[in-house]
Chains A and B, each alone.
Chain A
Amino acid sequence: DTEVTQTPKHLVMGMTNKKSLKCEQHMGHRAMYWYKQKAKKPPELMFVYSYEKLSINESVPSRFSPECPNSSLLNLHLHALQPEDSALYLCASSQDRLVPYNEQFFGPGTRLTVL
């Protein structure tokens, strides 16, 4: 299984809502990533988990809260978002963050709209 799955595919939420994005992989990868992508822009790294521990936080606002319950799952908890947070949120995984040269496998993304 070389697939990264993400749920939901689409999410519409108000600025006062709390929601979560989910990501799952069964490739035995030990590094997992969250990216944010606006239209016609490149993916921007948000968080990196390595062996279920947060390794990189790219100065992301606290209204985004990542969680890695186990080596196969990655969540992104959302609270009090702003309309400018509307974007495609991509999850990715790779074999090991510290093994050089390994490619990242991306999920299809969750299209988030904040009203």
Chain B
Amino acid sequence: SQKIEQNSEALNIQEGKTATLTCNYTNYSPAYLQWYRQDPGRGPVFLLLIRENEKEKRKERLKVTFDTTLKQSLFHITASQPADSATYLCALGNQGGKLIFGQGTELSVKP
């Protein structure tokens, strides 16, 4: 069955450092992968999308890579700030528009 694993449930880093979150998947061939941010008690907010034929995407301090051979995506936040503290979800999508979410990584950025 399809399985999505995000590297850890929680990640603690110091302000100014780069946060790197990992999303691995098995038994699935996604057409694209998305990253969302979710704050406690709120709905997820879309951050970035990367297609199966793309290797890397950037948006301001965010960077996502996608390796379909390794079945892995890496999500980077550079120059991290306490305001970046949240849960980050990766989601795999197919052509039918259905998303399957990973369990999320809770990022905590300490000042």
Contacts and interface: CB of A to CB of B under 8 A. Distances in A.
Real binding pair = yes
Interface of A: 4, 31, 40-45, 48, 50, 56, 88, 90, 92, 94, 96-109, 111
B50 to A, nearest CB: 9
B33 to A, nearest CB: 10
18 contacts: A4-B43, A40-B104, A44-B101, A45-B99, A56-B98, A88-B41, A94-B97, A96-B97, A98-B97, A99-B97, A101-B31, A106-B44, A106-B45, A108-B42, A108-B43, A109-B42, A109-B43, A111-B41
Interface string B87-105: 0010001011111111110
B96 A97 contact: yes
Contact of B99 (A104, A105, A109): A104
Contacts of A105: 46
Nearest to A102: B97
Interface of B: 9, 31-32, 34, 36, 41-46, 49, 51, 89, 93, 95-104
A92 B43 contact: yes
A35 B32 CA distance: 20
A111 B3 CA distance: 27
A43 B44 contact: yes
A48 B96 CA distance: 10
B68 to A, nearest CB: 15
Contacts of A99: 97
A98 B96 contact: yes
A112 to B, nearest CB: 13
Nearest to B4: A42
Given A43-B101, A109-B41, A103 B31 contact: no
